[in-house]
């Protein structure tokens, strides 16, 4: 089975979907992830402008599959303190599902939200309520609740919280989970030292059949820090060996793995994407940190 490994790429400008695919191909990827627009706002182009037939043809020609569309993190379905924001959040997510369907996407990682002081139970109930309005019986794309680091008042920092949301959603067959290695470690799970126990706990509480995608990120912080600061593969507290083992884990062969590590460049200017280098490391199982060091001093 082909290793499903890719990175978060950009769909923008005139190139749109075919441009995102070309970027992924340049990294040696076999899958890819992108946002339908800037993640920090809700401005979106119409699907007619995304060059979808060309993008799908480029994916087929490049041997890519399992397109992942990341929902913008600006949407907070869990905020019960500002009920006036809830209708727009639901409406926007309905539009995101429609865009993902038009793009023939496989799954959609989604940050569940934050309770902003009202408590996790209030947020969980409202997130489930929102998903009940967003999900439809005929949609093909699934929404993947992402494991969160637990910074601030984030919901989804434990598998139990994700299971509670899923249990309250009528069309739970349209829901999946996106694991993030950095987030899970920062939330307190022993990703670096005992990933099999993490996987077993997830299987017991949520079910491995609910796992649709894994974000492969190293962490700048120690286990349990609740910080959520991604760093490059092998340069953080998880380390290359642990992340490489997850990428090649026999129970996860059919799951796409997506890199969201930071760009690198001279004097901490984040100019150069690391993904071609990191994907090669993970394909071969060989860690060559000097390859990334070269990008740190290279001009884009």
Q: Is 247 left (phi over 0), alpha (psi -120 to 50) or beta?
A: alpha
The answer on whether 104 is annotated among ligand-binding residues is: no
183 is in an annotated binding site: yes
Q: How far apart are the C-alpha atoms of 288 and 278, rounded to whole Å? A: 9
| CA angle (24, 5, 288) in 5-degree steps | 90
Flag whether 66 is marked binding.
Answer: no
146 labelled ligand-binding? yes
Helical (H) or strand (E) element with 162: helix 159-167
Distance CA 76, CA 110 (A): 10
Q: Is 288 marked as a binding-site residue?
A: no
Q: Is 111 annotated as a binding residue?
A: yes
Residue 215, marked binder: yes
User: Token pair 């070309």 is at which residue?
Assistant: 22
| Best CA proximity match to 50, nearest among 101, 122, 1 | 101
DSSP 51: -
Q: Answer yes or no: is 70 a known binding residue.
A: yes
* 228 carries a ligand binding annotation: yes
Closest alpha carbon to 245 in 196, 174, 299: 196
Please report, in range form, the residues annotated as the binding site: 70, 111, 146, 180, 183, 215, 228, 230, 260
Which residues make up each annotated binding site for Zn(2+)?
70, 111, 146, 180, 183, 215, 228, 230, 260
């Amino acid at each position: 089975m082909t290793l499903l490994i890719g990175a978060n790429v950009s769909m923008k400008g005139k190139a749109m979907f075919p441009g995102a695919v070309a970027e992924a191909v340049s990294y040696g990827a076999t899958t890819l992830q992108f946002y339908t627009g800037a993640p920090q706002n809700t401005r979106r182009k119409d699907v007619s402008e995304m060059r979808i037939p060309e993008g799908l043809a480029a994916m087929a020609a490049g041997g890519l599959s399992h397109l992942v569309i990341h929902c913008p993190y600006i949407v907070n379905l869990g905020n019960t303190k500002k009920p006036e924001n809830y209708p727009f959040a639901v409406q926007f997510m309905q539009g995101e599902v429609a865009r993902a369907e038009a793009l023939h996407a496989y799954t959609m990682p989604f940050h569940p939200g934050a309770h902003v002081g009202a408590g996790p139970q209030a947020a969980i109930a409202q997130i489930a309520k929102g998903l009940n309005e967003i999900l439809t019986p005929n949609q093909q794309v699934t929404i993947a609740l992402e494991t969160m680091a637990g910074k601030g008042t984030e919901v989804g920092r434990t598998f139990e919280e994700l299971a509670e949301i899923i249990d309250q959603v009528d069309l739970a067959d349209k829901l999946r989970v996106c694991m993030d290695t950095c987030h899970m470690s920062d939330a307190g799970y022993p990703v670096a030292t005992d990933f099999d126990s993490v996987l077993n706990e997830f299987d017991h509480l949520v079910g491995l059949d609910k796992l649709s995608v894994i974000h492969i990120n190293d962490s700048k912080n120690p286990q349990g820090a609740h910080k959520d600061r991604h760093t490059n593969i092998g340069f953080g507290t998880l380390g290359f060996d642990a992340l490489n083992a997850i990428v090649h884990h026999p129970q996860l062969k059919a799951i796409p793995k997506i890199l969201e590590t930071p760009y690198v460049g001279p004097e901490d200017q984040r100019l150069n994407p690391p993904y071609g280098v990191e994907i090669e490391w993970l394909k071969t199982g060989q860690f060559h940190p000097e390859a990334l060091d070269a990008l740190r001093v290279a001009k884009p």
